[in-house]
Every structure is written in C-alpha cells, then in structure tokens.
Structure 1
C-alpha cells in the first residue's frame, strides 16, 4: 500500500488535514484540479446525482488509497506544473 500512497503523493493527490468534512477526499481532489473544497464537494454531489452508484464505491476506495497530507505540506502540484527556473 505504501507504493500506492507514494504514487498518489507524487501526483499531488492527498487528503488535507484541515478543511475536510468526512475523509477529505473531495477536498484533496479539488485541490489537485485547482478548486476550493466546497465547489469540489458540490461537483462530486452533482456527479453522484447524474451517475448514481459508482461514487458510493469510489469515495471509500479513494479514502483508503489517498494518503493523508503530511504536516507542513502546503503546496500541491497543479494539473500543468511549470518546471522550476534553471
């Protein structure tokens, strides 16, 4: 499970320790794609209403697979990360 957590952590998919309601999955996904937690939760709810069933399984799986953000971890990679200046 450690290698999966490391992969998700490198991709910026972590559950934040603050600003979460249940498990932090929606907040973590929202941060990854550049959304605040509440719009990400509303989008997840909208998808749940449009495609019922799959999110009921997806949320607990992501809760297990997504690692919790480490203390002091502030920056989250964006969808299009820019390389550091040379």
Structure 2
C-alpha cells in the first residue's frame, strides 16, 4: 500500500464545497473553506479578516454571498 493510498483511506477526497455550520462561528463559510482544502479554520478566518481590512470591506460582501448561496 503506497503512502497516497493510506492518506486517502484516512480522509476521503471532498465531493464539493459545503458550509460547516457545526464548526462555524457565524455562517460556517470559513470552516467550510478550511474543511474543503484541509487546512485550519483559524488560518482561513485570519485571511478573511486581513482581506476585509485591506480590501476596504469587499470580502464581507463575498462572505455573505457565499453564506447565502452555498447551502
């Protein structure tokens, strides 16, 4: 069994993006993105905050749109 086979056996590949309302803070967008890409949700949240501050709030609109459209 190769290392790739063992990794897929532990965590199956995601079938698509879904909101993670169980682990989410507001709408589950950042937790869903983190789950989809297999990274820590805190990093995604920090990225959204930094992007919202540097982008003059444009990511807030994107966050709300994802939250309303995704699920």
**TM-score normalised by the chain length of structure 1:** 0.58
**Which 5+ residue runs of structure 2 have no aligned equivalent?**
1-13
Find the aligned partners of 1:36 and 1:30 in 2 and give their Cα distance. Answer: 6
Structure 1 partner of 2:17: 13
User: Which of the pair has more CA radius of gyration?
Assistant: 2
Alignment of 1:56-67 (within 5 A): 56-67=60-71
2:41 to 34, 37, 42: 37
Find the aligned partners of 2:56 and 2:15 in 1 and give their Cα distance. Answer: 27
**Structure in which a larger fraction of residues adopt helix:** 2
Structure 2 partner of 1:73: none
Contact 2:21/2:27 (CA < 8 Å) preserved in 1? Answer: no
Structure 1 partner of 2:8: none
1:65–1:46 CA distance, 2 compared to 1 (3 A):
same
Find the aligned partners of 1:26 and 1:36 in 2 and give their Cα distance. Answer: 9
CA RMSD of aligned residues (A): 1.8
- Would you identify which runs of 4 or more consecutive aligned residues in structure 1 move more than 2 Å? none
**Which 5+ residue runs of structure 1 have no aligned equivalent?**
1-9, 68-86
Q: CA deviation at 1:11?
A: 5.6
